[in-house]
């Protein structure tokens, strides 16, 4: 807008918010972008403005429909919904007044408190803790993981607010992060998954100015919210309701650059900072926003993670040979009627890789083999096109050692016949040959 159009818009908005006419009619005017003179002033924004300018009248429940709208709250309290034949403004006013009349009995003269209590009621009931317990138990059963392990993850997450799952590729880190968040929060609108890459920036993740064309086709810039700002806004408007942001491949980005001043807020959720693009507005991370990151240690060692970030996260190892992952592949193969000897083969190869590569971070993940129909032909394809290229990267420049990981040799040493009783050389033994299995 130029200055003339901006003044005209401000005058119309002033009339809508402070005019003498019927408030429902004024809401309808605000929702009519042709009357207002511009697009973009959505329903929730307009009702927020009414809650700011007339806080004694309007509850901070801004949408009419949807899972967090006035009608959903009316249903939660067993109240009648407004007639659908009414205008949008009339429905907003009628629903707001009906809720105010009910909530005033409990929280007299406190519309903000009434709104927060209404949202709390909308998202809680007497059996919710039992339901969450059941969801965690069900998820653990589906994933063939110890229930105690998932409960410990949930406790660690709520204790610090942030977790990172780290380990070799193919160990199910992202899958488990998504399933854990789903067990803790069923509403997909309160969960989000993003993936970092080397060019991810603060502006991509939090907020920054982005180009766009206006209605006249001219290039302009607008402050656009990224995934973190969007989830923070959702969490702030629903206090007490957990929200989860999953950051896949978190270590592939320049983390101090991406998080910026937000690193401080990860540790101090009760404090506010001035952000780069809104220096006059204090910003704080809601306590009900939780982060789950995944980190592929084949790409970058955990030792290279920024110390300040590392202190703010609990780090959970996902290693195929230890902890909750130790027998996962064997259990899955047995449950699904697939050849269990494959788990022994993978274990033996991983032991060999740990010896050759001096550590546990470059092993073969179990998820490569958690597939139905593992015939010898399919196993050979999985190994040749999924597993062997990964091992080839780790043993680049060592052709003699790499040759020993070809499928024919691996299968001969640790395959079906070896599992049936043919003893293989122990790769951890001091007497084992470095050049062969």
Distance CA 69, CA 132 (A): 24
Higher pLDDT, 48 or 132: 48
Distance CA 228, CA 43 (A): 22
pLDDT in the model for residue 429: 40
pLDDT in the model for residue 300: 57
pTM of the model as a whole: 0.68
Cβ atoms of residues 427 and 355 within 8 Å: yes
Higher pLDDT, 284 or 1: 284
pLDDT in the model for residue 270: 83
Nearest to 208 by CA among 137, 150, 252, 257: 257
Nearest to 142 by CA among 346, 335, 347, 338: 335
Q: Are strands 219-225 and 162-167 parallel, antiparallel or unpaired?
A: unpaired
Q: Helix H segments across 161-275? A: 173-184, 202-205, 227-237, 255-259, 262-267
Confidence of residue 426 (pLDDT cuts 50, 70, 90): very low
Nearest to 68 by CA among 120, 19, 111, 8: 120
Confidence of residue 306 (pLDDT cuts 50, 70, 90): low
pLDDT in the model for residue 107: 87
Confidence of residue 347 (pLDDT cuts 50, 70, 90): very high
Distance CA 62, CA 94 (A): 13
Phi, psi of 82 (to 5 degrees): -65, 155
pLDDT in the model for residue 335: 93
**Stretch among 67-71, 237-241, 339-343, 344-348 having the lowest mean pLDDT:** 237-241
pLDDT digits (tens, 9 = 90+) for 85-120: 899 999 999 999 999 999 988 888 888 888 888 888
| List of domains in the chain | 3-123 (no CATH), 128-317 (3.40.50.300), 323-419 (no CATH)
Distance CA 139, CA 153 (A): 13
Question: Token pair for residue 332?
Answer: 């899955």
pLDDT in the model for residue 304: 60
pLDDT in the model for residue 430: 40
- pLDDT above 70 coverage of the chain, percent: 91
pLDDT in the model for residue 196: 94
Confidence of residue 131 (pLDDT cuts 50, 70, 90): low
Q: Helix H segments across 275-387? A: 307-312, 328-335, 341-356, 376-382
**Stretch among 29-33, 336-340, 342-346 having the lowest mean pLDDT:** 29-33
- pLDDT above 90 coverage of the chain, percent: 41
Q: How high does pLDDT run on average in the chain? A: 86
pLDDT in the model for residue 340: 93
Q: What is the arithmetic mean of pLDDT over 407-425?
A: 72
Higher pLDDT, 129 or 75: 75
pLDDT digits (tens, 9 = 90+) for 191-240: 999 999 999 999 999 999 988 887 777 888 888 899 999 999 989 888 77
pLDDT digits (tens, 9 = 90+) for 371-380: 999 999 999 9
Is the pLDDT confidence value at 427 over 50?
no
pLDDT in the model for residue 222: 86
pLDDT in the model for residue 109: 85
Sign of the C-alpha dihedral, residues 31, 32, 36, 38? Answer: positive
Please identify which residue in the block is written with the tokens 């780069």.
Answer: 276
Distance CA 273, CA 266 (A): 11
Cβ atoms of residues 391 and 409 within 8 Å: no
Q: What is the arithmetic mean of pLDDT over 331-348?
A: 93
């Amino acid at each position: 807008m130029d200055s003339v159009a901006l003044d005209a818009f401000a005058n119309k908005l002033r009339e809508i918010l402070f005019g003498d006419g019927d408030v429902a009619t004024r809401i309808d005017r605000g929702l009519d972008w042709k009357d207002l003179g511009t697009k973009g002033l959505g329903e929730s924004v307009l009702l927020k403005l009414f809650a700011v300018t007339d806080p004694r009248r309007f509850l901070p429940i801004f949408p009419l429909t949807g899972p967090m709208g006035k009608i959903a709250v009316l249903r939660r309290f067993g109240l009648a919904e407004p007639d659908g034949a009414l205008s949008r403004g009339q429905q907003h006013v009628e629903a707001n007044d009906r809720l105010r009349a009910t909530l005033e009995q409990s929280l007299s003269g406190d519309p903000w408190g009434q709104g927060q209590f209404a949202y709390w009621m909308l998202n809680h009931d007497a059996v919710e803790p039992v339901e969450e317990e059941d969801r965690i138990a069900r998820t653990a059963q589906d994933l063939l993981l110890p229930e105690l392990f998932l409960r410990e993850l949930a406790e660690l997450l709520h204790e610090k607010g942030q977790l990172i799952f780290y380990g070799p590729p193919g160990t199910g880190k992202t899958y488990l992060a998504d399933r854990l968040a789903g067990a803790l929060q069923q509403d997909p609108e309160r969960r989000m998954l993003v993936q970092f890459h080397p060019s991810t920036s603060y502006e991509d993740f939090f907020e920054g100015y982005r180009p766009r064309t206006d209605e006249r086709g001219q290039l302009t810039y607008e402050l656009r919210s990224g995934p973190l700002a969007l989830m923070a806004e959702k969490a702030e408007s629903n206090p007490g309701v957990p929200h989860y942001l999953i950051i896949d491949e978190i270590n592939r980005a320049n983390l101090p650059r991406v998080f910026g001043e937000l690193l401080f807020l990860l540790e101090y959720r009760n404090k506010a900072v001035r952000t780069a693009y809104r220096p006059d507005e204090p910003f704080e991370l809601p306590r009900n926003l939780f982060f789950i990151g995944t980190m592929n240690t084949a790409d970058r060692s955990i030792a290279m993670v920024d110390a300040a970030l590392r202190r703010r996260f609990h780090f959970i190892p996902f290693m195929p040979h230890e902890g909750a992952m130790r027998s996962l592949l064997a259990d899955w193969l047995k449950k699904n009627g697939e050849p269990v000897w494959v788990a022994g083969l993978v274990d033996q190869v991983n032991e060999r890789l740990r010896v050759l590569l001096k550590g546990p971070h470059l092993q073969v993940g179990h998820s490569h083999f958690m597939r139905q129909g593992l015939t010898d032909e399919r196993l050979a394809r999985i190994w040749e096109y999924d597993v062997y290229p990964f091992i080839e990267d780790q043993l680049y420049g060592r052709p003699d050692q790499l040759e020993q990981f070809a499928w024919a040799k691996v299968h001969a040493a640790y395959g079906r016949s070896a599992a049936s009783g043919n003893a293989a050389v122990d790769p951890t033994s001091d007497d084992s040959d470095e050049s062969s299995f």
